[in-house]
Amino acid sequence: MVWLGLVLLIAGAVPALTADGDIGGVDLTVAGAAVMAAGAALLIAGILRLRRRRRYGPAERGAQAYYRTSTGKIIAMVVAVVYIVSPVDLIPDVFLPVGIVDDASALTWLLFAFAQEYTRRNRAKRGAV
C-alpha cells in the first residue's frame, strides 16, 4: 500500500505541477491533483499500519522477534506527506527550480525512511533483531 501510494503521489505531481491544458475535457492539473490526493491517502494509511506490532517466528534463544515503528517516525512521515501535497511551502513552487527542491528533499527523506523500515522489518523476520 505504501509503495503504491508513493507511485501515485509522484505520478500525480508531474501533471499537477507541469501540465497545462486538458485531454478529453479533463483538466490535467485537476486530474494530477486528484491522483496526488489518492496517493497521499494510501500513503498515510500505509504509514499508520507501520505502527502495528508484528510478531515474527522464533528468534535466537526461543524469543519472539518484534517489529514496530516508533510514534515519532510515523508522525514525521505523515508530516512529510502532508508537506509534499500541501500547496503551502517554505519556498513557493513558483520559484523554479528552488521551489521544487524542498518538496523533493521531503520526498527523498520519506523514501529513505521507508527503505529503513523495510530493512528493519526483514531483519525482524529473519530473527536478527
pLDDT reading at 55 higher than 80: no
Check the CA dihedral 55-59-61-67 and report its sign.
Answer: negative
* Gyration radius of the chain's alpha carbons: 18
Give percent above pLDDT 90 in the chain: 8
pLDDT reading at 61 higher than 90: no
As a whole number, mean pLDDT of residues 84-89 equals 81
| Phi, psi of 63, deg, nearest 5 | -80, 155
First to last CA, the chain: 24
- pTM score above 0.85: no
Q: What pLDDT does residue 108 have? A: 92
As a whole number, mean pLDDT of residues 14-33 equals 80
As a whole number, mean pLDDT of residues 82-100 equals 79
